[in-house]
Amino acid sequence: MSNYQMPTLQDVLAARPYVYRHLQRTPLHYYPTLSTFMGAQVWIKHENHQPIGAFKVRGGLNLAARLTPSQQQAGLFTASTGNHGQSIAFAARAHGIKATIAVPQGANPGKVAAMRGLGAEVLFHGRDFDAAREWIMGVAEEKQGVFVGPTDDPLIHGVGTYALEILEDLPDVDTIIVPVGAGSGVCGAAIVAKAINPRIEVIAVQSEAAPAMHLSWKTGEMVTAPMETFAEGIATRVPFANTQKIMRHYLDEFVLVSDVAIQQAILLLLHHTHNLAEGAGAAAAAAALDLKGHLAGKKVVLVMSGGNLSLKTLKMLLVQKDDDEQDFAA
């Protein structure tokens, strides 16, 4: 990675036309009652409003738009158990090319149906994500297709467009809090925010139950760690080198929150915004509650990165919770 050229604001600007050919801007909404509850001025960046329900689709579209004709012909190959796969499937369909996505045996039927609904070929292989990924890399090589990793630069460039929208809608934002899985979302925000105004604070958040990216950032080493969070969008076992490099350069802070705090934040957001966040999408809200003193009175943007929570999990959270919505009143 020593020659790695970090993405810049220019890369993000260049991605915009390719993103907006197929997507529209997502709203940045201010929530008065949530703000009172949190003791800050709180906006939500609604990436859960994307057609696949997650920010990643921006990256997939930029990547697909940059393929050569022969690459388009050969198609895209990737592995995913979640939103990344839907992003690649959506982008491939939008560009009339083929996507082949490997998932481990026993993958969530709802996610498989969603990827197939978008026209992707979904192949089951191996016991876990890593096995599926290794296998599909081999398939891609054999077929001279394009293997897409979750932090490929064109994905970061495309994803960064959400942060430009934040800066357009709220130029005097103080703090942006972003959940971290592979890191493309927080890197996109950091590249954009720091280029425009270095005083904008960018804070990353991960679950205590999957702290590999956090530990790697804190220590400066590539640290593999247990991955036991329920929130698959931020479930990383092995850190990613390129996003780590960007994060080390730009990031102000990286906090951990508990899975329980994330689950409570899902309900808090549902109550105040009537938007369903998946675990990753609620992690920024959980972090903001932990950072209440630091954020007091500031203009804070919480990135709701995605909304793809299952009904089963939602039901579990609602049943666990006491019946009193007053918990969420200020």
User: Which residues lie closer than 8 Å to 3 by C-beta, 6 or more apart?
Assistant: none
Min. distance of Cβ 310 from a copy of itself in angstroms? 7
Question: Which CB atom, from 153 or from 278, has the smaller least distance to a copy of itself?
Answer: 278
Retrieve residue 40's tokens.
């800050």
Question: Which CB atom, from 51 or from 198, has the smaller least distance to a copy of itself?
Answer: 51
Min. distance of Cβ 113 from a copy of itself in angstroms? 5
Min. distance of Cβ 274 from a copy of itself in angstroms? 4
CA–CA separation, 325 and 323 (whole Å): 6
Half-sphere exposure of 314 toward its Cβ, with a 13 Å CA cutoff? Answer: 14
Min. distance of Cβ 22 from a copy of itself in angstroms? 11
Report yes or no: 165 and 196 within 8 Å, Cβ to Cβ.
no
Question: Which CB atom, from 58 or from 214, has the smaller least distance to a copy of itself?
Answer: 58
Secondary structure letter of residue 153 according to DSSP: H
Min. distance of Cβ 309 from a copy of itself in angstroms? 7
Question: Which CB atom, from 137 or from 317, has the smaller least distance to a copy of itself?
Answer: 317
Intra-chain end-to-end CA distance of the chain, in Å = 48
Min. distance of Cβ 31 from a copy of itself in angstroms? 8
Question: Which CB atom, from 160 or from 281, has the smaller least distance to a copy of itself?
Answer: 281
Question: Which CB atom, from 222 or from 318, has the smaller least distance to a copy of itself?
Answer: 318
- Give whole-number Cα distances, 147 to 78, 101, 275, in Å: 6, 10, 34
Of the candidates 90, 242, 58, 248, the one whose C-alpha atom is nearest the C-alpha of residue 157 is 58
CA–CA separation, 11 and 251 (whole Å): 19
Contact residues for a copy of itself, defined by CB under 8 A: 24-25, 27, 29-33, 35-36, 46, 48-49, 51, 53, 109-110, 113-114, 117-118, 267, 270-271, 273-276, 278, 307-312, 314-315, 318-319, 321, 323, 325-326, 329
